[in-house]
Amino acid sequence: DTGVSQDPRHKITKRGQNVTFRCDPISEHNRLYWYRQTLGQGPEFLTYFQNEAQLEKSRLLSDRFSAERPKGSFSTLEIQRTEQGDSAMYLCASSSRTGYQETQYFGPGTRLLVL
Amino acid sequence: GQQLNQSPQSMFIQEGEDVSMNCTSSSIFNTWLWYKQDPGEGPVLLIALYKAGELTSNGRLTAQFGITRKDSFLNISASIPSDVGIYFCAGQVGSGNTGKLIFGQGTTLQVKP
């Protein structure tokens, strides 16, 4: 399977703990996105990488959140001092751009529950 | 900020019926995408639209990119039980560096056998 993969699929943590999620994009894709989805809502953009450069961050991404893509391949999203409001599905998507066309393919997501 | 209004919010139909859902925006998008999401999974791409007025089919699915670039619709013909799920439209401005997607609120589809 050469799709986007995410690990772990589920994470339960206690408030105040740090968590880290990993995303492995489709191998030839140079663009990688993180989104957050809460129950009953569509995904919301968090941040975006082109190769290893983080080019855009949403205002949703507080100082407790940090994302990296050190070698332009996999990416990690870390949440420090988790809060109950961080409970959500965290989705990763990857894409490559051909001319003006770009299609994002999503991974299965990491569901986070903060107790 | 940019928002997409997706309707209807939910649909409960009989197997074999056709389904139509749409998205509208106050902003212009250069790309419209339609995704389907099953519970606990990530969105799966159904159809991508790149040009205003474009009409694209994928099996029983047909989607159109509105001429004004502010709307799109998705039709599903002859629905079957496996069509059950949440359907999302997503718009992409696509200019400059950012390719972030703006999503609608989703249409939950239930199909009665």
Minimal Cα distance from A99: which residue of B? B94
Sign, Cα dihedral of B76, B11, B41, A65: positive
Among B41, B65, B108, the strongest candidate for a mutation testing the A interface, having the largest count of A CBs within 10 A, is B41
Q: What's the confidence (pLDDT) of residue A100? A: 75
Q: Give me the residues of chain B with pLDDT under 70, please.
A: 1-2, 94-97
> Counting one residue from A and one from B, how many pairs have CB atoms under 8 Å apart?
72
Give the pLDDT band (50/70/90) at residue A54: very high
- How many other C-beta atoms can be found within 10 angstroms of the C-beta atom of residue A66? 15
pLDDT at B2: 63
pLDDT reported for residue B1: 57
What mean pLDDT comes out for the span A84-90? 97
Is residue B81 reached through a cis peptide bond, with omega within 30 degrees of 0 on the bond before it?
no
CB pair distance less than 8 Å for A48 and B94: no
pLDDT single digits (tens) B25-41: 998 999 999 999 999 99
Q: Which residue has the higher pLDDT, B20 or A1?
A: B20
- Given a cut of 70, whether residue A1 has pLDDT beyond it is no
Residue A19 has pLDDT above 90, yes or no: yes
Closest CB from A35, A41, A100 relative to B94: A100
Helix (H, G, I), strand (E, B) or coil at A86: helix
The nearest alpha carbon in chain B to A56 belongs to B98
Do A31 and B33 make contact, defined as CB atoms within 8 angstroms? no
**Does the pLDDT at position A97 exceed 90?**
no
- Please report the pLDDT score of residue A102 as a whole number: 87
The confidence score (pLDDT) of residue B93 equals: 79
pLDDT of residue A8: 98
Q: Residue B95: its pLDDT value, please?
A: 60
DSSP single-letter state for residue B62: E
Q: Which residue has the higher pLDDT, A75 or A28?
A: A75
Query: How high is the pLDDT of residue A71?
Result: 86
Beta strands (DSSP E) in B1-113 are 4-7, 10-14, 19-25, 31-37, 44-49, 55-58, 61-65, 71-76, 85-92, 101-103, 107-112
- C-beta atoms surrounding A1 within 10 Å: 4
The pLDDT value given to residue B73: 97
